[in-house]
Every structure is written in C-alpha cells, then in structure tokens.
Structure 1
Amino acid sequence: MNSGKWRPYLFIAPTFLVFLVFFIQPIVYMFYLSFHDWNFISPDKTFVGLKNFKALLADPMFLQVIRNTFVYTFFTVLFSISMALLLSIWLNKQGRMYRFAQGAVFTPHIISLVSIAMLWMWIMDADYGLLNWFLSLFGIGKIPWLTNPDTALASLIMIAIWKNIGYYTLIIIAGLQSIPKHLYEAAALDQTPKWKRFIKITMPMLSPSLFFLTIIGVLDSIKVFETISIITKGGPLNSTNTLVYYIYENGFAFFKIGYASAAGVILLLILSVLTLIYFKVLGKRVHYQ
C-alpha cells in the first residue's frame, strides 16, 4: 500500500475534523432543533414539524426584526464604504501628517466592541452626553439618541460606521497604491478629466477591494450582536432588535430553543441567498489584474 498518497489527507484531517465538529455539526443540529419544541432543560424534544417556522412568519415582531436587520446592514455598508473611499483618496499621500491620520482613523477598529459600546453610551447620553453638548453650541435641543425608537437604530448605524471606517480605509488605500501609475500618466497625456480617471481607472481597479469589503460588511452587519446587547437590548419598542440578538433572546432568555433554531435557519438562508446573488450579479464586474 502506497502511504504517500494518503499523506496529504492526513495533513488536512485535523482541520477537516475541527470544521466538521464546530461548523457542520452545529448547523445540522440547528436544523434538527428547528422542527422540535424544546426548553433547553427538559431531556425530551417534541417534534412539531413546521410549527416554529409558521409562528415566526406570523409574528409581527420577527418581521420587524428582519426589517431592522436589512436597514442596519444596508446603511452601515453603504456609508462605511462610501466614507472610507473618500477618506482613502485624501489619505493616500506621503508625509508624516498623513501617516498619523491613517493610524488615528484605524484606531477604532482595534478597540473592543464592549469598550466602544460603553464609550458611545456616554457620548449619546441624552442629558450628559458629549454629542448633545456639542449640538447645544449651535442651538440644537437635546436628542434622545438611544431611547427614542425614531433615532435608536440610526445611532447604532453611526457607531458601526465609526468602528468600520478605519479598517475599510486602509484596505482601500492598499488598493489605490497597487494601481499602476502608468495608467494615470497615460490618461493625463490624453488630458482626461480627473472625474473620468476616477470612474474609468480608479473604480475598476479598486473593484476587488470593494467586492471584499462589501461581502465582509454585509456578513458582519447581519450578525451584529455585541453593541445591541450592551447598549439597547433590542429596544426601545423593538426598534433596534436584529436577527442574531432575536435568536439569542428567544434561545437563552426565553428558552424557546426550537423557535430560536428556526430563526437561525432563516438567518442562514438569508446569508446564503445574499451571498449567491452578490457573487452572481457583482462578481462578474470585478476587475482582476
């Protein structure tokens, strides 16, 4: 028996085993639990078929959670990438000041989410927060950022953008610095306007970086948990509740494990469909050097 042909499989076996135990098995078990009624304590699991899914789709609170998740994801990704693109164009220069600015912009990304949540709870405090104090200098009254259903979700989006923008900016700067200079030199010789150079050269050459950032931005935003758990706990009036926190709340606060697992299955399906659509629609537009 030739042992050489089995050697590669032996090398990947530990990683494959970890992947099977900690990724595939929980997903399969989640599908199994979604068809059962279980309170996490009783040894018995009652098979209920599609009852959990029907209850989810008939629950107005769950439909609001889906809406909150998509609104949060859309605006977080849109503004994070747009603002990072503008910042990266400004910071993509040589000089001590620009290097310092790049480090300052990147700093929020390395701060823990717990620290960020506590910091912004103080900044956005309606009575003693720094943000309302600053706005009062311009005659603007107190805004209940985190306690008003009309502003709470927008406030969490602002926090997420502040957290993401530094990392996104450095990724885009790296993409800008990899663009061959001769493309801009040729365009300058042809007297091509700067806005046209940006559309015809910069954006196509940045498409791999933007493609990557959009994917991780969507995935991170849909599975947001820490800031919501610490700052708003899904309130006020369910206005900031998102899918992952909703799953946690039903599973580990209300002990409705089957119901939470059904929500987890829907979350998995949403992520799968979004990823497939994104690769099919936008993947062909990515320009690889």
Structure 2
Amino acid sequence: MTSTTPQAATAVAAGSGAAARPRRRSARDGGSAAVLWLFLPPALLLFTIFVVVPMGEAVWYSVFKWNGFGRPTQFVGALNFRLLFEDPVFRHALFNNALVVLATLFVQLPLALGLAILLVDRVPLTTTFRLIFFLPYILAEIAAGLIWRFVYDGDYGLFTKLWGLFGAASPYVLADADVAMYAVLAVSVWKYFGFYMILYIAGLQQIDRSLYEAARIDGASRWQVFSRITLPLLGSTVRLTIFFAILSSVQKFDLVMALTGGGPNDSTQTMVSFLYSYGLTRMDIGFGSAVGVVLFVICVAFAFGYKRTVMRHD
C-alpha cells in the first residue's frame, strides 16, 4: 500500500482544480456563444430592415424626381441637392437649427447644471423640486406643444391674460414671424432641461464630498470650488450631455409641428419639418429624400467627429 503525503495531496488537488477550471470556462464561453448566436441574428435583421434598408432607399430615391407612386424612373442626378441648397427656406431651416443648438448649449445646459448643483444635496423638498423640473420631459412633445400653443394664443391664452393685467395689447406670438422661433426655443428649453439636470445630478453624486470639505478648509471660494473641482470631475457627463443635446437639436421636429407647423411664412422651419412639409406633404419624395440624406450626413459627421475628438478619452 502506498501512502500519500499532505504535500502530494495538495498538489493533486491543485492539479485537479486547475484541470477543472478550463472546463468550466469553456462551458461558460460556450453558453455566451449560444446566447450570442440566439439573439444577434434577430437584432441584425431588425436593424437591417428598419435602419440600413431605409437609409439605402433614401440615397437611391434622392437622385430621382419621384412622387412616391410606382417605380422611380426619372433620374435627375444631383439636381435635388442643388435645388435644396438654393432654396432660401432650407437655408433658413439650417439657421433655425443653429439657433436651437445655441439655445441648448448656452441656456438649457447651464440652467440644468445650475439647478443640479442646487438640488444635488438631500435637503427638505429637494426630491419635490427634482420631480417638478423633470415633469416637462415626461410629457409627449405633441402634448407639450399643444399646451404651449394654448398658452401663446393671442385671444384666450395665458400670455394674453398677463398682458391684459398691464393694459397692453394682446400679442400674437406664434403668428409673428420675427418672434415665433424664439417662442419655440423657450418651450424647447423648458421641455428638456430637466432631463439634463437629472444627468448632472447623477454625475455630481459620484464626486467625493471630502474634496469639497478640503476646499472649504483651504478657504476656496465657490467659483474656485466649481471651476477646480466640480467642472473637471463632471467633464465626462458634460461632454455626454452636449453630444445628446446637439443631436436632438438637429433633429427637432415634433415640438415645432405642434406649435407652429413650421410657420408663419416658414419662419420656424427646421430641417426635419422642412423635409416633412416640402417632401412628404407635397409628395416630392425624391426631394425629401435628399433632405434626409443631408440630415443623415450632418448627424453622422458630427457623431464620429465629436467621438474621435472631444470624447476620445471617455
């Protein structure tokens, strides 16, 4: 009979454990591969059907003059794109999208950040104020647009009542081509700043509070605390919110259609509302597809450029 020493028994146990571990890892890898092959093909199929194919069709239709009936046969090449950039309404739509981006970057996001700093600490009524400021984002864009359309109404709206208290004439805000776009911008800021406020609060809660205590002990001012601690440590969240904000601003549609429908006199058209009004509504599918291609190129160029430059370390 042979005897087994404790050292040998330990070695044998270690060897058997080492031999068992690869088998467990292999089984786990096999399970992951099975899950991958189970769920990836349906996802790719849906992505292809609802994203890739419509994108390819839009590019194809953009080189035809086509009303949407039958097969496109009248090839016009780049004519739709030339007419698009020569159209003053489209250029004004680009300008309006730029206004939305500027209002988002310099009004909406700073407002959201300021409120997030005020509401990050759990003090009485903090949760209530967070809910109040976040509620507009929960509303559907069409519902929010219709509510504010009534508020701006020059005959029965809230603005009319407020102006009447001061004895002033009732303003028809949405009927004035000079101020209608600014009314849309005000609603856009009100609608979305709560979403970015919640993102900023989540980012602020990840910052170690001891850094603020050390800064106060060292006599740092509020601006120094904000510029040297809060803003740098919140950098990744700020960059992400800017990314979301610009992409959503470029694609602004529902709120505009509910408030003004692009009017008066096309003064509030954005690229997407222009696509709807001058492409789908007028059954000029080739021209509308050209607008969609331009919008797609702008969004993709910005997304990839922003990711490779501003967010390359995030």
TM-score by length of 2: 0.84
Q: 63, 86, 95: which one pairs with 1:67? A: 95
Query: What are the superposed Cα offsets for residues 159-197 of structure 1, whole Å, 9 maximum, x if unpaired?
Result: 111110111111111111111112112222322222111
For 1:138 and 1:214, how far apart are their aligned partners in 2?
40
The 3 A distance-change label for structure 1 pair 249 and 208 is: same
Q: Which residue of 2 is the match for residue 166 of structure 1?
A: 194
Aligned length: 284
Q: Pick from 274, 289, 295: which aligns with 1:261?
A: 289
2:109 aligned counterpart, secondary structure: helix
More deviation, 132-141/195-204: 132-141
CA–CA distance in 2 between the matches of 1:139 and 1:211? Answer: 46
Structure 1 Cα separation of the partners of residues 181 and 124 of structure 2: 37
Can you list the C-alpha shifts for 1:116-150, whole angstroms capped at 9, x where unaligned? Answer: 11110111112322124224445654332111111
Match of 1:230 in 2: 258
Alignment-mate amino acid for residue 103 of structure 1: L
Local SS of the residue matching 1:212: helix
Give the superposition deviation at 1:209. 1.7
Share of identical aligned residues, percent? 30
Residue of structure 2 aligned with 1:120, choices 148, 162, 173:
148
- 1:54 maps to what in 2? 82
Q: Deviations 1:6-30 (Å, cap 9, x if unpaired)?
A: 6333431111111111111111111
Shift of 1:34: 0.8
Distance between the aligned counterparts of 1:18 and 1:44, measured in 2?
26
Q: Which runs of 5+ in 1 are unaligned?
A: none
Contact 1:72–1:153 under 8 Å retained in 2: no
Residue aligning to 1:23: 51
Give structure 1 regions of 4+ aligned residues with deviation exceeding 6 angstroms. none
1:134 and 2:162 aligned: yes
CA contact 2:253–2:273 (8 Å) conserved in 1: yes
1:220 matched to 2:235: no
Task: Indicate the SS of the match to 1:126.
Answer: coil
SS at match of 1:283: coil
Aligned to 1:151: 179
Q: How far apart are the structure 2 equivalents of 1:280 and 1:143?
A: 47
1:281 Cα deviation (Å)?
4.1
Unaligned runs of 5+ in 2: 1-29
Q: Which residue of 1 is the match for residue 14 of structure 2?
A: none
Say whether 1:93 aligns with 2:94.
no
Match for residue 192 of structure 1 among 196, 220, 227: 220
Q: Which secondary structure state, in structure 1, belongs to the residue aligned with residue 125 of structure 2?
A: helix
Distance 1:140 1:76, change over 3 A: farther
1:167 partner letter: F
Q: How well do the aligned residues superpose, as a CA RMSD in angstroms?
A: 2.0
Counterpart contact for 2:61–2:72, Cα < 8 Å: no
Give the residue type in structure 2 aligned to 1:221.
S
The one-letter code of the counterpart of 1:247 is L
Match of 2:11 in 1: none
Distance 2:258 2:33 in 1: 49
- Work out the CA distance in 1 between the residues paired with 2:229 and 2:168: 43
CA distance in 1, matches of 2:129, 2:91: 42
Assess if the C-alpha contact under 8 Å between 1:144 and 1:151 holds in 2: no
Distance 1:136 1:99 in 2: 36
What does 1:32-47 align with in structure 2 at a 5 Å threshold?
32-47=60-75
TM-score under structure 1 length normalisation = 0.91
Q: Is the 8 A contact 2:62 2:286 kept in 1?
A: yes
Distance 1:185 1:49, change over 3 A: same
* Greater Rg by CA: 2
